[in-house]
Chain A
Amino acid sequence: MTGREQAREPGQAPGRARGREAELFALAGAVPDPELPVLTLAELGVLRAVRLTDDGGAEVELTPTYTGCPAVETMADDIMAALRGAGVPRVAVRTVLTPPWSTDDITDGGRRKLRAAGIAPPRAGGLLTLAIHCPRCDAVDTPVLSRFSGTACMELRRCAACREPFDHMKEI
């Protein structure tokens, strides 16, 4: 994530400021997702950049998973609290839409945590023909009950083997 941010603005900030930005990025990235607290914002892939501003504050770029995701405001509040706690006097969080968030932005570690929490992770890289494994018993016969579930990013499935219903984070 920091790599992407630094690649966007090569050499703009002096070395020490860049180090501080990376530090703050790690801090903001460690904030848990309000709806899926097993994941951090960095693992979810929604934190795009942290920049120091001339007045000593910080500007954070956050991208929503879904346009209407109601968790964005809570994420912004939590990031502001985390950075203020680290001594940043002014924090502004900006929502950016480009490039659009994709489930491919979820890290491998994030996918493992989702599965451990009983949520089938999204399939990566457009391999939508792969079966969705039941997060409990790993069976592959898991028909969709509904394309929509408790949050905007989930769909509801049921495992034909162990009969348990479960959420699958749908690919977008």
Chain B
Amino acid sequence: MSREAAVDRDELLGLGDDALILSHRLAEWAGHAPVLEEEVALANIALDLLGQARVLLSMAGDEDALAYRREERAFRNVQLVERPNGDFAHTIVRQLYFSVWQELRYQQLAPLLPLAAKAVRETAYHRDHAEHWTLRLGDGTDESHERTQRAVDALWPYTGELTGPGGLPGEWLARVTATLRAAGLTVPAGPPPRTAWAAGGGRQGIHTEPFGRLLAEMQHLHRSHPGATW
């Protein structure tokens, strides 16, 4: 237990909120995914992330209170994971950007954080899934290529926050760039911006407009029926 204390509470909250919020976004695909296999895959990834979130938030405090009773400004997730699902290509590119980062971060934290040592193996499958789909979509039809490129560009500003302090700018950029190039996609010019108007505030509790609606849906049952259990 003493080794767990090597990771401070802000870090636990950040990682836990990333996993919780992305899990919620992916769960929104249930019933809407393009094919059955992807329905199952996205739900599986969401389940892994929810399990990680439960462990991380429990280390930071009471998991239910943290998930269901915090106000928007108290969440510490990066803005990337709260971005709406968009089309399938948009979700896949968000998965690529995030899972490459999460795998690297968990690898870094593995000696200090038992959850990271375990979850890094799960995350490797998530990253693999995102890379395969990026290749298929980018190198697929004209339409899939165009939609994926649109997603690559639209989400790029939100990746600046991943490579901020404590982040992994070089390795993350190299891996994502290699996958995008192999998929025939254009890597946006320059490194991800770190001072753009929107990107970079998630860890300080500043979130984008769609996040409020996500929280309203995620928290409404608990707020309407305090203490409800199954």
A residues within 8 Å of B by Cβ? 64, 66-70, 97-102, 145-150, 152, 156, 170, 172
Contact = CB atoms under 8 A, between A and B. Distances in A.
B80 to A, nearest CB: 21
20 contacts: A66-B51, A67-B52, A67-B55, A69-B51, A97-B55, A101-B118, A145-B37, A146-B37, A146-B38, A146-B40, A147-B128, A147-B129, A147-B132, A148-B40, A148-B125, A148-B129, A149-B40, A149-B44, A156-B40, A170-B125
A66 B48 contact: yes
B48 to A, nearest CB: 5
B70 interface: no
Contacts of B37: 145-146, 148, 156
Contacts of A67: 48, 51-52, 54-55, 115, 118-119, 122
Given A67-B119, A68-B52, A69-B51, 10 more contacts: A64-B51, A66-B47, A68-B49, A97-B55, A146-B38, A146-B40, A147-B132, A148-B40, A148-B45, A172-B122
A99 B110 CA distance: 11
Interface in B27-61: 37-38, 40-41, 43-45, 47-52, 54-55
Interface residues of B, number: 26
A68 B50 contact: yes
Q: B-side binding surface: helix, strand, loop or mixed?
A: helix
Contacts of A98: 114, 117-118
A152 B119 CA distance: 13
A150 to B, nearest CB: 7
B47 A152 contact: yes
Nearest to A150: B40
Contact of A100 (B40, B43, B121): B121
B47 A68 contact: yes
A172 B44 CA distance: 15
B114 A97 contact: yes
B118 A68 contact: no
Contacts of B119: 67
B118 A100 contact: yes
A153 to B, nearest CB: 10
